[in-house]
Chain A
C-alpha cells in the first residue's frame, strides 16, 4: 500500500500555516503538514507526500549514510573480486 513520494518544500503560506507548497520534479502541490511536529520545516527541506499530506521529513543524513554504506559494499566486492583473482593465479585453485 501507500504510494508516497519525496517532494521539496518551496513555499510557505502565511495565511494557512497548515499548508505548504511542495515540488516533485517540477510538479507542485499544496500539502498539509499537520502530521509533522511543529516548527519542523524550513524551505528546501524534503518531505514524504501521501494523499495530500506530508507524513515525514526525509533525513538527508540517513539517506547519505545508507548510500555511503552501500557504495562501500560495492567497493568491498571489487576488492574481494581482486583478491579472488590473486588466489587463482597463486596456487591455481579456485576460491
Chain B
C-alpha cells in the first residue's frame, strides 16, 4: 500500500515494501456467529472482527493501514484523526475516571501517530436515571484532562437511553491533529537491530480497574496511569525524528498485543528481555496472585516506540527527562529471526513466545 502523497516540501521518501526476508502478514477472517466480549478485548478476536468484517466493508487505502489513527492528506497537510469509545466499569477508579480515559485515549492515539491533538469532540450516551452529579464530575474531569493535554473539546453529541442500558454512561471521543512532517511512522520502516523503548511500568491501569470492580476482594495501592503521552512523543521528536520508526500506546491487550501486531505487520521478530521490563511491585503481586501476565494488561499512559539503534540511548534519555518518564526503559530489539512473533528472554536465558491475547485476561486458579 502506498501512502497518499502529501505535497509538503519536507516530505520524506518512504521505503515501500517489507524489510528483506520479512514474512508477509496473513489477514484474518471473521466467521463468528455472534459478537462476544472477546471481540472488544483488543486481542486476536478484536483483530479478526476489524480485519474480517469491518475493514473489508469500508475498504479504502487510508483504512488499510489499520493503525491507531488514520492519516490522510487535507489541503496539502498530513492530518491524523482518531476515534475511541469508553465503556469502563466502574466509572471512577483510583487515578482517574471514564472521562479522563476518553480524553487521554484519543490524544494518545494521535500522539503515537506523530500528531499533536488540535481539537477533540465528545459523544455521550447516558443512561436515564444517571445522577447529574456523576455526569458533572465526568465533564469536569474531561475539561481538566483536556486542559492538561492542551487541546480544546470543540463539540460533540449527547443521547439518552433507557434505564438499564449502557452502565451509566458511555463516552466516545474523536480527535484530529497534524502529523509532524519529519515522521514516516510505518511498520515496514522497522529494521532488524532497531530498539524497543517503553515509557514506564506496565499493567497499572488494567490491574487498578480489576481491583476497583471489587469482585476479587483484593486491595492494593495502585492507580491508573491515564495521562497524555504527547510529552514523550515530543521529546522523541526533538532528538530523533528520523530514527523513529513506529509507536503505539499499548491499551487493551497490553504490550504483548501491540508488539505482536507490529511483528505481524512488519514481518520481523521482536525480542524482549524480561528483566528489563518495568513493573510496579503491586502489579507484579496482583498478577502472581491471579495468574495474569503483565504483558497482556491494559495501559492508558504509556508509549512503546521503535527507534533506530543509533538513536536509542538518546531517545531513552529524552523520555526519561520528561516528568513521568523516569521509568522509561529499553526493553528489547527487532530481529530478522522469529519472524512475525514476539519472543521473551527469561532471566536464565531461556526463551518463551509472548503471544497475543485471545480475549480478556482471566484470573486463574490452576
Contacts and interface: CB of A to CB of B under 8 A. Distances in A.
Determine direct contact between A and B, CB below 8 Å.
Answer: yes
Interface of A: 1-3, 5, 7, 24-30, 49-52
Range for the number of chain B residues in contact with chain A:
10 to 19
A1 B291 CA distance: 12
B219 interface: yes
A5 B289 contact: yes
Contacts of B326: none
Contacts, number: 43
Given A2-B366, A5-B289, A49-B289, A25 B217 contact: no
Contact of A26 (B216, B285, B365, B366): B285
Interface in B328-366: 364-366
The winner among A2, A28, A30 for most chain B CB atoms within 10 A is A28
B365 A25 contact: no
Given A1-B366, A51-B365, A26 B289 contact: no
Given A29-B219, A30-B217, A24 B365 contact: no
Nearest to B217: A29
B289 A27 contact: yes
A27 B286 contact: yes
Given A25-B284, A25-B288, A3 B218 contact: no
A27 B366 contact: no
B285 A25 contact: yes
A49 B281 CA distance: 18
B288 to A, nearest CB: 5
A51 B216 CA distance: 10
A3 B216 CA distance: 15
A2 B285 CA distance: 17
A28 B364 contact: no
Contact of A27 (B218, B291, B364, B365): B218
A29 B281 contact: no
A25 B284 CA distance: 7
B220 A26 contact: yes
B289 A29 contact: yes
Interface string B171-208: 00000000000000000000000000000000000000
Nearest to A2: B366
B220 A28 contact: yes
B132 interface: no
Nearest to B288: A5
B51 interface: no
B281 A26 contact: yes
Contacts of B289: 5, 7, 24, 27, 29, 49
Interface string B284-303: 11101101000000000000
A25 B288 CA distance: 9
B221 A26 contact: yes
B366 A3 contact: yes
Given A24-B289, A26-B282, A26-B285, A3 B364 contact: yes
Contacts of A24: 285, 288-289
Contacts of B220: 26-28
Contacts of B284: 25
30 contacts: A1-B366, A3-B291, A3-B365, A3-B366, A24-B285, A24-B289, A25-B282, A25-B285, A25-B288, A26-B221, A26-B281, A26-B282, A26-B285, A27-B218, A27-B219, A27-B220, A27-B282, A27-B285, A27-B286, A28-B218, A28-B219, A28-B220, A29-B217, A29-B218, A29-B219, A29-B289, A49-B289, A50-B365, A51-B365, A52-B217
